[in-house]
Structure 1
Amino acid sequence: MDKVRELALKVLYKIDKEEAYSNIALNEIINANREKLTPKDIGLISEIIYGVTTWKLTLDVIIIKHSKIKMKKISTWVLNILRMGIYQILFLDKIPQSAAVNESVNLAKRYGHKSSANFVNAVLRKVSMVDYAELFKIENPIERISKTTSMPVWIIEELLKDKDYNINNVRKICGNLVQRPNITIRRNNLKINKEEFEKQLKERNINFTEIEENKEFYIVEKIKNIENLDMFQKGYFTVQDLSAGMSAYMLEPKENEYILDACSAPGGKTTYIAELMNNKGKILAWDLYEARTNLIKENAQRLGINIINTETNDATKYKAEYNEKFDKILLDVPCMGIGVIKRKPDIKWHRKPEDLKVISKVQYEILENCSKYVKKGGTIIYSTCSILEKENHGIIQKFLEKNPIYTTTEIKIEPTEKQDGFYIAKLIKK
């Protein structure tokens, strides 16, 4: 039996049964079997897990079409064997259909009942690209988008509540959220200049493209285990999407300012603020848990930054000692994460419509509370890696109605092939 597919199956089972996050479960199984796996093996395991997690809804639609057994009666093991097989047939051109079918049947013999192998064989031999093409003929536009982009209907419906989006915008957004994410890095200007940085990338045969909108950011290609790269360990760069960096950039931090990052772990935006300040001034970084504030310290140390102090704090709870203490505040609040689904496809299956009400309440409480900490004339950046109206403009609108002493600028970044979806509001206290 093919060891690679068996390991992939075990990860998918864990994701379904334990609601484990795919990246964590994947790393665990790779690390436990690293000595037995080639780079090619690791690539295929990652491809299958990421692909099946991304396309789960669409794969299940095709299973329902060809299966005589109802979905709820198919065991989790066999269901994931079918998903893996269909994903390979439809999306992995280099794997012959016969190989995908045969390996799936072998897995079914071990992880299913006596009849499971015949069942898997019968379903997979009926599958072809026609099954996927037919989904584009569905008349109902919301159902069509859902089944062709593997997006839950409730997310599509929430996107359509935004007055800036129509059905065509939403179709494009959902299509972009099944694309493979780029790896984007941010050069650390405290340690290395542009010319030397690019020279070192070339010396390591790393293909890169400078991002025009912000020349400290680069899209890099074909890097495995990027955090093992010597340039990373020396603190020459941070892995960060351009959209995520934009919230720190729009804060416009200056040398010698006192800045609060109230939801800071693991520290990507905090350290970018410090770099933009040329490591001069003071930053206070909060998070709920000490383990997460330790990540900020580790990142700061690697990058050669010494102006960040950390505290374990709840940003929804008022602390009188910080009243009007800060020049600027970054609030990159907890969110539904809809804008980063292509990086974290589990979000589609772990998040539920009822979560939106709970999380938007927390978001508003953080903004309302932390607004007390900024000086008059100071700036607050409120940002999320989500693209839902209720988490973004809805929060800001409610805040401004109660706090008319603020002016605001809002930026909505749709997910594209190049970057993640993001929302940023810049609030200035009069």
Structure 2
Amino acid sequence: MNSKIKLHRNLIIGLHNALHESFFEPNKYADKVLERTLKFNKKWGSKDRGFVSESFYEIIRWKNQLEFFANRKLSPESINLIIATYLLYNKMGLEPFPEFEKVYVKKIKDRFKLPFPSPSIKYSIPEWMQTVLENELGEQWSREINALNVPAQTVIRTNSLKITAENLIEVLREENVYVDYIKGYKDALIMQDKKNIFKTQAFKDGLFEIQDASSQRVGEFLEVKPGMRVIDSCAGAGGKTLHLAALMENKGHIIAMDIHEWKLQTLKQRARRNGAHNIQTKIIEDSKTLKRLENSADRVLIDAPCSGLGVLRRNPDAKWKLNEEFIGRVKEEQRQILQNHSNLVKKNGILVYATCSILPSENSLQVENFLKENSNYELIEEKKLMPSVCNFDGFYMAKLLRIK
């Protein structure tokens, strides 16, 4: 945290409003809330924007700790107290703003010295989540949540349909954006510092997409080749679909499916920018949509809906929005999708089941149960990317061969 910045009251008001929206207004997601906040406050300079962005995410990430230090639960009335606690913890003085009038600085600073009463406060997660992680990951759980509390760095994927990674580094350097190679990744580059790269000409020209290094492993894992027929059956806005198009060198046919038409519309726009011409979008209206595609694909990717526990470093608000009931529902959804979409693969074709979760019950156990009921498939390989080991998002992927 930059303690040199001069804090203006309108920054505190903007931060307060963004936190209120994110925590106390239904269906508001942190990334969109922040985007709107920054758009609305066009007069803020780059340091101001940096301060609000970083503080917003760090307060969301460390909510439990800050509540403990402040000795108050976060509520619409206590947001300013939590902001003050965050500033004090980061050794920033409190300006004499009316928002901080009733803050007892000494009381808060005294609490910084106290030991945390529970792991859920230490790691800043809900108690139910601690129990679930402990039950599923054993002793390893705290190592993983520790890694997931480190803010994610921005990783981009070179669009190999248009440019090589080497040339992209040069092009970005000309726009004062500096990136480095990531060892062991062909097209992934990591940003050296935070910048709004959506404004670069390189992005507008479709030379890269933002995609975490672990997510890029999924496309490679599918082993696609130019000329194949590939179905991305939960394509969403198409990050992995676009990667598949690049890996296939625009040759062959990709059918990108989803139940949400608006996501497929976003994918179409991105595909145009990327120069990816071999993608056809198809909305899943009912079981007939799947029926028509049975036994037709060389490769099927099921990037299944999941808890998203592997991507908490970039979506820390999910900690407070998730609940056990949702995870139970999503596991049933995964089971059904895996069963129904497995029929799209032709004999000797490959199915990849992937999630951005670190829970075995969403991952290897789903695959085990599927194989028990489907003797026409066998497991070739599975990969578990754990945040504490790979330093990127947590992902799981299983490669299944249809043998009959």
CA shift for structure 1 position 207: 2.6
Structure 1 residue 249: Cα displacement: 0.9
Conservation of the 8 A alpha-carbon contact between 2:59 and 2:86: yes
Which one-letter code corresponds to 2:13 in the other structure? E
Q: Which residue of 1 aligns with 2:36?
A: 28
**Secondary structure at the counterpart of residue 108 of structure 2:** coil
- Structure 1: how far apart are the matches of 2:30 and 2:115? 27
Distance 2:234 2:278 in 1: 17
* Counterpart residue identity of residue 153, structure 2: N
CA distance in 2, matches of 1:24, 1:269: 21
Q: 1:161 to 1:314 in 2, by over 3 A?
A: farther
Compared with structure 1, are the counterparts of its residues 54 and 314 closer, same or farther at alpha carbon in structure 2 (3 Å cutoff)? farther
Q: CA deviation at 1:317?
A: 6.9
Question: Which residue of the other structure, out of 5, 8, 15, is the alignment partner of 2:22?
Answer: 15
* In structure 1, C-alpha distance between the alignment counterparts of 2:327 and 2:62, rounded to whole Å: 23
TM-score (norm 2): 0.92
* Equivalent-residue separation in structure 1 for 2:83 and 2:314 (angstroms): 19
| Uncovered stretches (5+) of structure 1, i.e. residues with no partner | 109-116
Shift of 1:245: 1.2
**Residue of structure 1 in register with 2:4 after alignment:** none
Structure 2 vs 1, CA of residues 314 and 152 (structure 1 numbering), >3 Å: closer, same or farther?
farther
- Equivalent residue number for residue 404 of structure 1: 375
Alignment of 1:234-245 (within 5 A): 234-245=205-216
Q: Which amino acid aligns with 2:383?
A: I
Deviations 1:22-48 (A, max 9, x none): 1111111211221x2111111111112
User: Kindly tell me: are residues 410 and 315 of structure 1, through their superposed partners in 2, closer, same or farther at Cα, counting changes over 3 Å?
Assistant: farther
Q: 3-state SS of the aligned residue for 2:66?
A: helix
For the residue of structure 2 that corresponds to 1:376, the secondary structure is: strand
Amino acid at match of 1:160: E
In structure 1, the residue matched to 2:121 is 147
1:313 aligned residue (284, 295, 298): 284
- Overall identity of the aligned pairs, in %: 30
Aligned to 1:125: 106
Summarize the Cα distance change of 1:77–1:107 in structure 2 as closer, same or farther, 3 Å threshold: farther
Q: Give 1:161's aligned amino acid.
A: N
Q: Deviations over 1:370-422 (max 9, x none)?
A: 00110011111111111112211121111011012222122111114731111
Deviation at 1:315, TM superposition (A): 8.1
Partner Cα distance (1:28, 1:243) in 2: 28
Counterparts of residues 17-416 of structure 1 (less than 5 Å): 17-19=24-26, 20-34=28-42, 36-64=43-71, 71=73, 76-90=75-89, 92-93=90-91, 95-96=92-93, 98-99=94-95, 102-103=96-97, 106-107=98-99, 117-118=101-102, 121-122=103-104, 124-128=105-109, 131-132=111-112, 134-135=114-115, 138=117, 143-144=118-119, 146-162=120-136, 165-167=137-139, 169-313=140-284, 319-408=290-379, 409-416=381-388
Displacement of 1:134 after TM fit?
3.3
Which residue identity is paired with 2:30?
A: S
Aligned length, in residue pairs = 393
User: Match of 1:166, as an amino acid?
Assistant: G
CA 1:429–1:151 in 2, change beyond 3 Å: closer, same or farther? same
Residue type at the aligned position of 2:391: K
Whole-angstrom distance in 2 between the partners of 1:425 and 1:132: 44
CA contact (8 A) 1:177 1:342 kept: yes
Report the alpha carbon displacement of residue 314 of structure 1 after superposing the two structures with TM. Answer: 5.4
Q: TM-score, normalised by structure 1?
A: 0.87
Looking at structure 2, the residues matched to 131 and 285 of structure 1 have their Cα atoms a distance apart, in angstroms, of 53
Partner SS, residue 152 of structure 2: coil
The structure richer in helix per residue is 1
Take 1:338 and 1:131, find their aligned partners in 2: how far apart are those partners? 30
Do the aligned residues in 1 keep the contact of 2:253 with 2:279 (CA within 8 Å)? yes
**Alpha-carbon deviation of 1:234?**
0.7
Q: Cα deviations across residues 330-365 of structure 1 (Å, max 9, x unaligned)?
A: 100111100101101111000001111101001111
SS of residue matched to 1:185 = strand
Q: Which moved more, 1:323-332 or 1:78-87?
A: 78-87
How far apart, CA to CA, are the structure 1 residues paired with 2:112 and 2:339? 47
Distance 1:132-1:258 versus aligned 2 partners, 3 A rule: farther
Instruction: Write the deviation string for residues 198-245 of structure 1: whole angstroms up to 9, x where unpaired.
Output: 222333333322111212101112242211111111111110001111
Letter in 1 for 2:85: I
The C-alpha deviation readout for 1:87-116, integer Å capped at 9, x for no partner, is 1221x34x23x43xx44xx125xxxxxxxx
1:132 to partner: Cα distance = 4.5
Q: Which runs of 4+ in 1 moved over 6 A?
A: 315-318
186-195 vs 176-185, which moves further: 186-195
Q: Secondary structure at the match of 1:322?
A: coil
Three-state SS of the structure 2 residue aligned to 1:135 is: coil
Mapped to 1, the partners of 2:77 and 2:279 lie a distance apart of 50
Separation of aligned partners in 1, 2:369 and 2:112: 43
1:174, distance to aligned residue in structure 2 (A)? 1.1
Quote the RMSD (CA, aligned, Å). Answer: 1.9
**2:259·2:283 contact (CA, 8 Å) conserved in 1?**
yes
